[in-house]
């Protein structure tokens, strides 16, 4: 019922504005943002600005309920409304919108994947991001500054060259540079010399990589989705899924009362199994803590994203001047949002191996988030054995996937069939253990 | 320049030790005991910096860690960025400059932003700068942001950082009156106590005030108490030591700074404690009113600290602006120091009488609100409006303002431990609530502001901590001179909209009341939204003087109670901590240890190209002779092995002894093929899988006795295999009688390989019969080789006749020398890993790091024989066949001959149908130049590859398509005659 | 940095251990007795509770044995089970 009315287009055709025309899109955003409106606002002391999103009373029935107003949940809501004309949609959120991992990540947007299944999806996501500021009329401060992998072992160089050639098949670019050029582009990179423990062998430049402002992504999608009629309900915690007598999911129980829905989409990174478990659905997911930290703000010193896969650390410098640094996840399962000292120290030591001048730079803030990782460490975007229930989970490094992940999840929710870009990423792949292994040859036991 | 604002007497500075320092290029004088901030104030420097966004003139506001006004960059050998001037102890020759303000704070070109301010409200950047693209503007924004410069050089040689681990019963954070009492009480009854305080001296606020404890001046009591600690072996007392994080399992991080000449610059303590007392004090709040950021507007507590501790009068004529009784003490100290108080502006009603009873000569305006400041680069007067009767505007001239908006307990550590806070209306602040089994909060950190109750509270916390650990403490409470109740009536901000654009809630980040109002108006109502949208509280000072004001403003705008707005999450660190301190002495090989064999040094001396070869072993890649390229060297080494003899160091291969009656059963379980039937002395090649059907490793195992095997694994996977087997035995087959022991480093080997290997080994003098019949392929013999007890195995990773001679590590170097000596007549050549790689590709031998990709299984690799159907269960069996049941095409191992024999393919290159730019059907797993074959050879995994033999594969390398014929994946001696030789 | 109780070595720092994943059901003696979906679930679906999880750590830089603990995924607290 729900999907029939929506698209007059073929599945998967979502490149244009879809059912929503450019004009209705314009109208839907209540108040345009621009230098002119800003100047106009100044005249009145900025009193004319209206809320970026508006709250409506919580209804007890929607066509689609999306659980989780993080990046993926909000993007999904936006594309449901925009591409599929689904407007009777509510996004319900336990805390404040944009407060999930979208609020606590390291912003790196890239498409340097290994597998034919993965690369096109991430290429799409990167390109959606590039025009998103204009599309949402919200400045995401999208900065396509490129990423450089610092290669310190030969097996790594071989693996990254393999990626380079695989990526080329799908329109993503990697370019190898020598050590001299690497140091020219990153003058602060003074470690890793010929006598160091792991001398730098080469650099690999991923020109498509970008960073942007995470809060703006959440707010931009929320504002645009809300403008198209989607409701966003903060402080509305889902406590359980409601199933009917035939075992299908037909709504969610919240602490503000039950909400009936024809379809329920979970976009609750880390907490997927918390919700599906009590409904009797077991998923191949484990929740982990991944942490990040920032330095004090400094004048520009690193103007690309620097990734050091052999040492397990990566960093970039925000427009405010803070170094944003991330490392490996805490190995054990965790639902914590802080940082384990061991994991943190490892990342700091790894960074200082390559950037010894940062010894006197100070740590300003650190935090963590939890995410779920599938058995094969690739995302799951899928219908489930429970009719009416759909999950978008297993994203780690899911920030870069927000636009395409939202696009594909909206497609799945609206049409019931996987988006062509995500066909390989359903739960079906586990039936025959057909893993999508980005890690290549590494086996973890 | 004279210290014209230095008081004649008093203070804890040493006037006999003058110091010289430079600030923004000006040379000035101060005294031992000063901070940079107190010395600047003593020299009359008011305008000391510019603000982050609007470049407004700023002066020193506080006396401690909460400083939101003046940040400096230290120059010279001590170079570091973004230090609050209040936290830099003055040393002779110190050089510093303001972080913001170019060319100088007094003449700052960035001040243009003050003019543009109307179109730069909170979050303005979300609304504009999209066209043509953000990247057009980004470089300018980046250049303008960012405070100080990043250091360009590493710290000078000799600068050390250090990590230390410590265990104790009680950690006390903060050595103010409460912390000292807690530590003293607990230490006296025998607890192992650590007390850490971030300031140079113990005493906390006692140092800033003129109070008495135990009948003596407060600072003296603190010094005496510290002296008592020095006499106790169960106490570790640290000053300049900030407790900066609470971690899992009661782990606390403490950063200790040293200003001395020897010892580490900073030491990071990892303290594991059973109980902790948080006695980190409280920080005074700023009041929110127009132009409350002008140089000369200071916190009252800071004024008191500068007068009493540093003997500096921040000015000659003051106005006090307050909403509480705590400022009476400050006013008293100002008058005593000869500072004129032009007026006391109290936001509360009906307090004039109380003030006049104490200060009969001072003008008091009660029920009054500050409404503005006259003066741009320094305060000249303050404006106020009294609410009594009709609104009356008053202007009082002064040269500084002492402000108190109440106190915020420093509850970061409590909050970091995920313990709750609640808003307490009588105290008008957030206080720790809830209960923890290992954390206690005491003193003003718990809202006990007057000295007497802080002392009592500290003693109570020490007693409670002791009781929790089974000790009984009997606290001895000293008398305290101050027990006046602290009374406050919150006044958060002016109601009128006028001027709210200049009323700062976060001075560091230039966030005004109008910004908060705008954020709420635009729907950013959650406190986290407000914080993120306006950046309030996200600066270096963490908004210590303003956060509660932000929360109050949000409460007003949204009509909520302050307690319901809630606080944002406190995150580590409590204050910025250098990465060097966190790193400690973990550098280089302490971060990534490497492993070496007894031959590593020899190898390096030979000029071999060394690299990381998995599992942190450093190995030779090849041994180039002068002028040789890599290909030439590898060619020469490979030719030696194929036609003469070579030798390599095979020590890093994982070696494990497996013993026990169930040893055979275990091997049958972890390998896909059978080992239990092996005869003693015989070996077999095997593949190991994980239970989800992925290839884990390959290797050879020998039977060494009825219940004993010797297993070898690849270098890189040794630890993984060891863990895998131990885990299987521990949890899945605990009843089996079998043990596995890692003996990798007990057995080291030199492997002699090539058609003439037997002659070389024979020349070493050995009691082992080396003849083919007596010592066939895939067996081992124990004996003596070159005088050393040895176990010699006939395995081959090169495809040639090979003798792997295992000896004790201490004998390896001698054995090696003897081999080179004995081999010299045969032209023996040491070979590296690159050559090994070429030799194994020629043979099509498996390398798990190359030919195993994702779900590759043994059948894909043409090793169906290694999955005997008749064999019972083994790890991975079920999954291999389950995966195959899906019927999806498999990528199978094949060989490739490039059309152009000279063309060596890049390893990893994808293969697509007809070379089209689309999803691949396979990829090149390994590719080398083979001197033996006289051409380039490659191995590849291709969908249905075995069925495609004889046809062409299209390798796609960027835009180029290279054709290669699909052939058998073995290019040399397919029958294996050579290796059995 | 957790403090992990090793039955042989006592409470030891996490750095001495290697994480070995959540405890799964004991490997069946005859995997063929399981249906395909049961086998897949055994392999790929771990317990992922918001609360205590039973998990395994390898005391690699200690006694070398495997340790099983019950740890709360919200607090890191290591709980003793009934058997101590």
Which residue of A282, A334, A431 is in closest CB contact with C73? Answer: A334
| A431 with C36: Cβ contact below 8 A | yes
User: Residue B557 sits in a domain of what CATH number?
Assistant: 1.10.10.1100
Q: Does A37 touch chain B (CB under 8 A)?
A: yes
Where b means 16+ CB within 10 Å and e means fewer, A59-92 reads eeebbbbbbbbbbbbbbbbbbbbbbbbbbbbbbb
- pLDDT tens across B647-690, in order? 999 999 999 999 999 999 999 999 999 999 999 999 999 999 99
- Of these ranges, A56-60, A373-377, B892-896, the one predicted with the greatest mean pLDDT is B892-896
CATH number assigned to the domain comprising residue B259: 3.50.50.60
The full set of domains in chain A, from first to last, is: 22-138+213-284+375-430 (3.50.50.60), 147-207+286-374 (3.30.9.10)
Question: What would the pLDDT profile of B347-382 be if each residue is shown by its tens digit?
Answer: 999 999 999 999 999 999 999 999 999 999 999 999
B30 shares its domain with B138: yes
In a domain, B681, yes or no: yes
Residues contacting residue B526 through CB under 8 Å, at least 6 positions apart: A95, A96, A99, A234
If asked whether residues B4 and B91 sit together in one domain, one would say yes
B146/A96 CB distance under 8 A: no
CATH code, domain carrying B940: 2.40.30.110
pLDDT at B918: 96
Write the CA distances from B573 to A100, A126, A365, B527, integer angstroms: 21, 34, 6, 21
Helix (H) or strand (E) holding B43: none
pLDDT at position A17 is 40
Q: Are strands B439-441 and B504-506 parallel, antiparallel or unpaired?
A: unpaired
Q: Which residues of B touch C68 (CB under 8 A)?
A: 731
Q: Helices (H) and strands (E) in chain B — how many of each?
A: 26, 50
Tell me the DSSP string of A267-315.
--TT-HHHHHGGGT---SEEEEEEEEEEEEE-SS---SEEEETTTTEEE
SS (H, E, C) B662-693: CHHHHHHHHECCCCCCCCCCEEEEEEEECCCC
pLDDT in tens, B289-346: 999 999 999 999 999 999 999 999 999 999 999 999 999 999 999 999 999 999 999 9
Cα B110 from chain centre: 34
Residue B684 counted as domain residue: yes
Looking at the partner chain, which of A41, A220, A441 has a beta carbon nearest the beta carbon of B853?
A: A441
For residue A425, which of A391, A385, A397 has the smallest C-alpha distance?
A: A391
Angle at B627 between CA B621 and CA B633, to 5 degrees: 35
Q: What is the mean pLDDT of residues B411-431?
A: 94
Does residue B527 surpass a pLDDT of 50?
yes
Do B168 and B277 belong together in one domain? yes
Q: Is the pLDDT of residue B594 over 70?
A: yes
Instruction: Measure the N-to-C terminal CA separation of chain B; round to a whole number of Å.
Output: 93
Contact C21, B669 (CB under 8 A): no
Residue B146 pLDDT: 66
First to last CA, chain C: 22
Report yes or no on B872 lying in a domain: no
Contacts of C49 in chain A (CB under 8 A): 277
Whether residue B103 is preceded by a cis peptide bond, meaning omega within 30 degrees of 0, is yes
- Residue C28 DSSP one-character state: P
- Range C8-25 average pLDDT: 93
Whether C20 and B727 lie within 8 Å, measured CB to CB: yes
Q: Is C32 on the interface with B (CB under 8 A)?
A: yes
Question: Which of C1, C40, C74 comes nearest A431 by C-beta?
Answer: C40
What CA–CA distance (Å, rounded) separates B857 from B892? 9
pTM of the model: 0.94
Residue at which a domain ends, from B404, B426, B457: B404
Q: Which residue of A has its CA nearest to C48?
A: A286
Which chain A residue shows the shortest CA-CA distance from B131? Answer: A134
**Among C2, C40, C58, whose Cβ lies nearest the Cβ of B249?**
C2
Distance of CA B333 to the CA centre of its chain: 44
CA atoms of A318 and B797, how far apart (whole Å) = 51
Interface residue B591 vs chain C (CB under 8 A): no
Residue B612 pLDDT: 83
In terms of DSSP bridges, do strands B71-74 and B960-967 run parallel, antiparallel, or are they unpaired?
unpaired
| Mean pLDDT lowest among A136-145, B493-502, B750-759 | B493-502
Which CA distances in Å does B145 have to A230, A293, A318, B2, B544?
36, 19, 10, 35, 21
CA distance A370 to B882: 33
pLDDT score of B392 more than 90: no
The dihedrals phi and psi of B365, each to the nearest 5 degrees, come to -115, 105
pLDDT higher than threshold 60 for residue B942? yes
- Chain C residue whose CA is closest to A343: C1
Sign of CA dihedral B744, B745, B746, B752: positive
Nearest to A332 among C45, C55, C75 (CB): C55
Question: Do residues B645 and B763 both lie within one domain?
Answer: yes
Higher pLDDT, B110 or C81: B110
- Nearest CB neighbour to B907, from listed A33, A49, A158: A158
Residue with the bigger pLDDT between A339 and B485: it is A339
Q: How confident is the model at residue B497 (pLDDT cuts 50, 70, 90)?
A: low
Quote the distance between the C-alpha of residue A308 and its chain's center: 21
Inform me whether the pLDDT recorded for A8 exceeds 50: no
Residues 37-76 of C with CB under 8 A from B: 39-40, 43-44, 56, 58, 60, 64-66, 68, 75-76
Percent of chain A's residues with pLDDT above 70: 92
A328 touching B, CB under 8 A?
no
pLDDT of residue A422: 96
For position B672, which CATH number holds? 3.30.70.1400
Q: What is the 3-state secondary structure (H, E, C) of A10-73?
A: CCCCCCCCCCCCHHHHHHHCCCCCCHHHHHHHHHCCCCCCCCCCCCCCCCCEEEEEEECCCHHH
Residue of chain C nearest A444, judged by CA positions: C20
- What pLDDT shows up at residue C84? 41
Sign of the Cα pseudo-torsion (B182, B186, B187, B192, in order): negative
Q: How far is B675 from B664, CA to CA, in rounded Å? A: 6
Range name among A135-144, B51-60, B149-158 with the lowest pLDDT average? B149-158
Domains and CATH numbers, chain C: 3-25+37-79 (3.30.2270.10)
Q: Which of A295, A266, A262 is nearest to A278 (CA)?
A: A266
Closest CA in chain B for residue C24: B731
Look at residue A19 and tell me whether its pLDDT is greater than 70. no
Q: Please say if the pLDDT value at position B163 is more than 60.
A: yes
Specify whether B269 is located in the same domain as B334. no
Asked if A367 is an interface residue toward chain B (Cβ–Cβ < 8 A), one would say yes
What's the CATH number where B766 sits? 3.30.1360.120
Contact across the interface for C48 and A284, Cβ inside 8 Å: no
Q: The CATH number of the domain where B12 resides is what? A: 3.10.20.440
Stretch B260-285: mean pLDDT: 92
**Taking a C-beta distance cutoff of 8 angstroms, is the pair B758, B777 a contact?**
no
Q: What is the DSSP track for A62-115?
A: EEEEEE--SHHHHHHHHHHHHHH---SEEEE-SSSTT-SGGGSS---B----SS
Question: What was the pLDDT predicted at B104?
Answer: 65
Q: Residue B496: which pLDDT band, with cuts at 50, 70 and 90?
A: low
Which three-class secondary structure state does DSSP give residue A120?
helix
Q: Which residues of A touch C (CB under 8 A)?
A: 271, 273-274, 277, 282-287, 331-336, 340-342, 372, 375, 430-431, 433
Burial degree of B625 (CB within 10 A; 0-12, 13-18, 19+): exposed
**CB–CB of B854 and A356 under 8 A?**
no
Interchain proximity C32–B270, CB inside 8 Å: no
pLDDT category, A4, cuts 50, 70, 90? very low
Residue in C with minimal Cα distance to A272: C48
Q: Torsion-angle region of residue A350: left (phi > 0), alpha (psi -120 to 50) or beta?
A: alpha
Residue-wise pLDDT tens digits, B207-236: 999 999 999 999 999 999 999 999 999 999
pLDDT band per the 50, 70, 90 thresholds, residue B463: very high
Give which of C56, C66, C68, C79 to mutate to test B binding, by max B Cβ within 10 Å.
C66
What are the C-alpha distances in Å from A317 to residues A298, A326, B322?
9, 12, 41
- To test the contact with chain C by mutation, choose from B248, B416, B418 the residue with the greatest count of C C-beta atoms within 10 A, namely B248
Substitution target in A359, A378, A434 with the highest count of B β-carbons within 10 Å is: A359
* B269 and B299 co-located in one domain: no
* Residue at which a domain ends, from B711, B742, B773: B742
Chains in touch with B (≥3 Cβ pairs < 8 A): A, C
Judge whether A433 is closer than 8 Å to chain B, CB to CB.
yes
The pLDDT mean for chain B works out to 93
Per-residue pLDDT at A35? 84
C79 in contact with B, Cβ within 8 Å = no
Say yes or no: C25 contacts chain B, CB-CB below 8 A. no
Show which of B532, B559, B574 is a domain's final residue.
B574
Residue B477 lies in a domain: no
CB pair distance less than 8 Å for C76 and B248: yes
> How many Å separate Cα B120 from the centre of its chain?
35
**Per the domain annotation, does B852 fall within a domain?**
no
Do B396 and B266 share a structural domain?
no
Q: Are A62 and A90 in contact, with CB atoms under 8 Å apart?
A: yes
Whether cis (ω within 30° of 0) applies to the bond prior to C29 is: no
Using H for helix, E for strand and C for coil, what is the string for A191-247?
A: CCCCCCCCCCCEEEEECCCEECCHHHHHHHHHHHHHHCCCEEECCCCEEEEEECCCC
Q: Do C48 and A273 touch (CB under 8 A)?
A: yes
Q: How many domains does chain B have?
A: 7
Same domain, B464 and B523: no
- C58 and B248 in contact by Cβ < 8 A? no
Q: Are strands B381-386 and B407-409 parallel, antiparallel or unpaired?
A: unpaired
- pLDDT mean over A4-18: 38
Does the structure show a pLDDT above 60 at A404? yes
* Residue pLDDT, tens place only, A429-443: 999 999 999 875 445
Please answer yes or no on whether B720 and A445 come within 8 Å at the CB atom: yes
Q: Which domain holds residue B642?
A: 600-652+746-838
Tell me if A177 sits within 8 A of A203, measured CB to CB.
Answer: yes
Give all strands (DSSP E) within B132-285, no chain letters.
Answer: 161-173, 193-196, 212-213, 216-217, 235-238, 241-247, 251-257, 266-278, 282-284
Tell me what the mean pLDDT of segment B535-549 comes to. 90
- Indicate whether B111 and B47 sit together in one domain: yes
Any A CB within 8 A of B904 CB: no
Cβ-Cβ contacts under 8 Å between A and C: the total is: 55
- For chains A and B, count residue pairs whose Cβ atoms are closer than 8 Å: 316
Tell me the chain C residues in contact with residue A341 when contact means C-beta distances shorter than 8 Å: 1
Q: Is residue B33 part of a domain?
A: yes
Where are the alpha helices (H) located in B865-952, listed in sequence order?
877-884
B132/B14 same-domain check: yes
Per the domain annotation, does B690 fall within a domain? yes
User: Hey, of A333, A385, A435, A443, which one would you mutate to test binding to chain C, going by the most C CBs within 10 A of its CB?
Assistant: A333
pLDDT of residue C24: 85
- DSSP for B874-888 reads -TTHHHHHHHHTT--
């Amino acid at each position: 019922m729900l999907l029939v009315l929506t698209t007059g287009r073929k599945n998967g055709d979502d490149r244009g504005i879809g059912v929503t025309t450019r004009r209705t899109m314009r109208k839907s955003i209540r108040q345009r943002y621009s230098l002119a409106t800003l100047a106009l606002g100044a005249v009145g002391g900025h009193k004319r600005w209206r809320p970026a999103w508006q709250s409506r009373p919580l209804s007890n029935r929607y066509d689609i309920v999306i659980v989780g107003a993080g990046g993926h949940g909000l993007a999904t809501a936006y594309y449901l409304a925009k591409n599929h004309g689904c407007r009777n949609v509510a996004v319900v959120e336990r805390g404040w919108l944009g407060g999930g991992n979208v609020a606590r990540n390291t912003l790196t947007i890239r498409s340097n994947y290994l597998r034919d299944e993965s690369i096109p999806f991430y290429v799409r996501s990167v390109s959606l991001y590039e025009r998103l500021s204009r599309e949402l009329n919200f400045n995401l401060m999208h900065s396509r500054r490129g990423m450089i992998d610092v290669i310190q072992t030969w097996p790594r160089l071989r693996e990254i060259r393999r990626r380079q050639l695989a990526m080329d098949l799908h329109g993503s670019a990697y370019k190898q540079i020598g050590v001299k050029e690497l140091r020219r582009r990153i003058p602060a990179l003074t470690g890793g010399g010929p006598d160091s423990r792991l001398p730098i062998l080469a650099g690999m430049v991923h020109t498509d990589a970008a960073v942007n402002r995470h809060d703006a992504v959440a707010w931009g999608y929320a504002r645009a989705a809300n403008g198209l009629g989607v409701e966003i309900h903060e402080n509305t915690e889902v406590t359980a899924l409601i199933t009917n007598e035939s075992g299908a999911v037909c709504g969610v129980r919240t602490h503000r009362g039950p909400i009936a829905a024809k379809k329920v989409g979970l976009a609750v990174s880390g907490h997927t199994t918390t919700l599906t478990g009590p409904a009797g659905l077991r998923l191949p997911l484990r929740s982990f803590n991944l942490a990040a930290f920032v330095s004090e703000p400094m004048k520009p010193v690193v103007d690309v994203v620097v990734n050091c896969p052999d040492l397990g650390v990566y960093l970039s410098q925000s427009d405010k001047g803070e170094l944003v640094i991330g490392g490996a996840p805490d190995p054990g399962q965790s639902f914590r949002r802080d940082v384990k000292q061991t994991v943190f120290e490892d990342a700091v030591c790894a960074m200082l191996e390559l950037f010894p001048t940062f010894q006197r730079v100070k740590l300003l803030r650190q935090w963590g988030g939890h995410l779920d990782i599938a058995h094969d460490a690739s995302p799951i975007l899928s219908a489930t054995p429970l009719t009416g229930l759909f999950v978008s989970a297993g994203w780690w490094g899911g920030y870069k996937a927000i636009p395409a992940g939202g696009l594909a999840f909206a497609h799945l929710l609206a049409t019931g069939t996987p988006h062509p870009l995500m066909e390989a990423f359903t739960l079906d792949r586990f039936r025959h253990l057909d893993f999508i292994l980005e890690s290549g040859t590494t086996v973890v036991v | 320049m004279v210290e014209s604002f230095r008081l004649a007497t008093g203070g804890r500075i040493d006037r006999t030790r003058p110091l010289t320092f430079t600030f923004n290029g000006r040379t000035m004088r101060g005294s031992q005991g000063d901070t940079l901030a107190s010395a600047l104030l003593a020299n009359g420097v008011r305008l000391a910096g510019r603000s982050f966004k609007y470049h407004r003139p700023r002066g020193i506001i506080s006396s401690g860690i909460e400083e939101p006004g003046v940040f400096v960059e230290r120059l010279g050998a001590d170079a570091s960025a973004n230090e609050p001037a209040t936290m830099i102890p003055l040393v002779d020759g110190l050089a510093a400059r303001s972080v913001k303000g170019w060319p100088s704070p007094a003449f700052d070109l960035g001040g243009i932003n003050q003019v543009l301010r109307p179109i730069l409200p909170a979050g303005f950047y979300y609304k504009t700068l999209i066209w043509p693209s953000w990247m057009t503007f980004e470089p300018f924004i980046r250049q303008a942001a960012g405070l100080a410069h990043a250091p360009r050089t590493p710290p000078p040689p000799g600068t050390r950082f250090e990590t230390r681990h410590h265990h104790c019963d009680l950690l006390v954070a903060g050595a103010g009156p409460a912390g000292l009492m807690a530590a003293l009480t607990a230490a006296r009854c025998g607890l192992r106590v650590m007390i850490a305080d971030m300031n140079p001296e113990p005493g906390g606020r006692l140092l800033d005030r003129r109070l008495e404890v135990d009948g003596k001046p407060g600072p003296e009591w603190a010094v005496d108490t510290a002296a008592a600690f020095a006499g106790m072996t169960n106490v570790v007392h640290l000053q300049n030591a900030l407790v900066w994080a609470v971690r899992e399992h009661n782990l606390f991080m403490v950063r200790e700074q040293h200003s001395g000449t020897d010892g580490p610059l900073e030491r990071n303590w990892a303290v594991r404690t059973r109980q902790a007392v948080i006695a980190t004090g409280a920080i005074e709040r700023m009041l929110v009113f127009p132009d409350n950021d002008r140089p000369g507007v200071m916190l009252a507590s800071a004024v008191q600290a500068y007068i009493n501790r540093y003997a500096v009068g921040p000015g000659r004529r003051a106005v006090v602006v307050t909403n509480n009784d705590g400022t009476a003490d400050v006013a008293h100290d100002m008058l005593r120091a000869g500072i004129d108080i032009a007026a006391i502006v109290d936001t509360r009603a009906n307090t004039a009488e109380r003030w006049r009873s104490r200060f009969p000569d001072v003008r008091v305006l009660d029920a009054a609100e500050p409404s503005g400041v006259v003066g741009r680069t320094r305060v000249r007067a303050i404006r106020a409006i009294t609410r009594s009767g009709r609104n009356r505007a008053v202007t009082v001239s002064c040269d500084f303002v002492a402000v108190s908006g109440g106190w915020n307990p420093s509850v970061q550590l409590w909050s970091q431990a995920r313990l709750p806070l609640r808003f307490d209306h009588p105290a008008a602040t957030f206080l720790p609530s809830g209960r923890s089994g290992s954390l206690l909060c005491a003193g003003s950190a718990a809202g006990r502001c007057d000295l007497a109750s802080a002392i009592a509270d500290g003693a109570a916390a020490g007693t409670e901590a002791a009781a929790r650990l089974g000790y009984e403490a009997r606290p001895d409470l000293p008398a305290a001179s101050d027990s006046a109740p602290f009374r406050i009536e919150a006044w958060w901000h002016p109601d009128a909209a006028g001027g709210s654009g200049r009323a700062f809630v976060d001075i560091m980040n230039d966030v005004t009341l109008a910004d908060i109002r705008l954020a709420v108006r635009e729907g950013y109502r959650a406190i986290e939204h407000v914080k993120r949208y306006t950046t309030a509280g996200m600066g270096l000072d963490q908004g210590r003087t303003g956060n509660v004001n932000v929360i109050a403003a949000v409460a007003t705008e949204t009509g909520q109670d302050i307690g319901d707005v809630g606080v944002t999450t406190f995150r580590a660190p409590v204050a910025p901590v250098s990465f060097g301190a966190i790193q400690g002495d973990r550098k280089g090989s302490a971060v990534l240890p490497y492993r070496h064999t007894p031959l590593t040094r020899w190898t390096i001396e030979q000029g071999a190209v060394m690299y990381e070869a998995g599992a942190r072993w450093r190995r030779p890649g090849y041994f180039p002779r002068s002028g040789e390229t890599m290909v030439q060297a590898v060619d020469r080494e490979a030719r030696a092995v194929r036609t003469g003899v070579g030798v390599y160091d095979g020590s890093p291969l994982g070696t494990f002894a497996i013993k026990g009656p169930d040893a055979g059963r275990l091997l049958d379980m972890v390998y896909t093929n059978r080992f239990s039937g092996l005869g003693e002395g015989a070996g077999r090649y095997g593949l190991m899988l994980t239970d989800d059907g992925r290839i884990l490793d390959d290797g050879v195992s020998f039977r060494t006795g009825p219940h004993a095997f010797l297993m070898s694994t690849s270098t890189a996977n040794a630890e993984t295999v060891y863990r895998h087997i131990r885990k299987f035995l521990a949890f899945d087959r605990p009843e089996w009688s079998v043990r596995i022991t890692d003996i990798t480093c007990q057995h080291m080997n030199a492997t002699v390989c090539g058609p003439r290997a037997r002659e070389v080994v024979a020349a070493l003098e050995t009691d082992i019969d080396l003849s083919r019949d007596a010592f066939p392929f895939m067996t081992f013999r124990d004996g003596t080789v070159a005088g050393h007890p040895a176990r010699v195995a006939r395995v081959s990773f090169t495809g040639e006749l090979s003798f792997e001679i295992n000896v004790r590590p201490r004998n390896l170097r001698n054995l090696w020398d003897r081999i080179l000596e004995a081999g010299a007549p045969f032209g023996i050549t040491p070979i590296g890993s690159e050559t090994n790689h070429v030799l194994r590709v020629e043979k099509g031998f498996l390398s798990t790091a190359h030919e195993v990709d994702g779900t590759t299984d043994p059948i894909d690799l043409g090793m169906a024989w290694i999955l005997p159907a008749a064999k019972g269960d083994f790890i991975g069996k079920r999954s291999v066949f389950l995966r195959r049941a899906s019927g999806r095409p498999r990528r199978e191992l094949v060989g490739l001959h490039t059309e152009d024999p000279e063309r060596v393919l890049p390893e990893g290159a994808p293969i697509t149908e007809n070379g089209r730019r689309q999803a691949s059907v396979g990829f090149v797993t390994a590719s080398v130049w083979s001197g033996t074959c006289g051409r380039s050879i490659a191995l590849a995994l291709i969908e249905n590859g075995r069925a495609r033999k004889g046809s062409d594969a299209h390798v796609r390398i960027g835009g180029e398509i290279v054709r290669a014929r699909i052939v058998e994946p073995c290019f040399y001696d397919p029958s294996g005659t050579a290796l059995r030789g | 940095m957790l403090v992990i109780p090793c039955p042989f070595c006592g409470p030891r720092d996490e750095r001495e251990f290697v994480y070995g994943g959540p405890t799964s059901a004991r490997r069946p003696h005859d995997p063929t007795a399981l249906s395909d979906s049961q086998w897949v679930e055994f392999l790929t679906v771990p317990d992922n509770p918001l609360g205590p999880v039973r998990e395994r750590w390898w005391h690699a830089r200690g006694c070398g044995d495997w340790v099983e603990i019950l740890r709360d995924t919200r607090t890191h607290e290591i709980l003793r089970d009934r058997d101590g």
